[in-house]
Every structure is written in C-alpha cells, then in structure tokens.
Amino acid sequence: MGILEEVIGAVVAVEGVKKLDPNASILTEGIAAVAGYKGVEAVTEHLENKEAENKEGDVPDQPA
C-alpha cells in the first residue's frame, strides 16, 4: 500500500467535513484528515488479512 491511497483518504475526509459543515474549524478538518488517513490504512490492512486467510483456507485435497 502506498502513501498515495492514505493521502487521498485524508483529502476525501476533509472534503466530506466541508460538505457537512462549511464553517468547520481547522481543528475539525485536521481530525477528519487523520481519521481518513488511518481509516484507509485500517481498511487496506483488513482486506489484506482476509485475502491471506482465504489463501490459507484453500486446501484442494480436503474432502467437502
């Protein structure tokens, strides 16, 4: 995962806050940026773990 995806998540979160509250303070926008950054990181990590679990669980010799 690259930094680009996380930065895009932060930008999207800030834009979302601006849409919801056009008079949002810089603190609110900063919190949204951190949440967006960490949110993309968490979702990507979760999807990678799920993918790894699915690969480990595929055993073709196991009876159904």
Quick check: 33 and 13 in contact, CB under 8 A? Answer: yes
Q: Where in the sequence is the domain holding 11, given as residue range(s)? A: 3-55
pTM, full prediction: 0.74
| The Cα angle at residue 26 between residues 5 and 38, in degrees rounded to 5 | 30
User: Structurally, how many domains does the chain consist of?
Assistant: 1
Q: Is residue 26 part of a domain?
A: yes
What confidence category does residue 62 fall into, taking pLDDT thresholds of 50, 70 and 90? low
Q: Is residue 15 part of a domain?
A: yes
pLDDT in tens, 7-61: 999 999 999 999 999 999 999 999 999 999 999 999 999 999 998 888 876 655 5
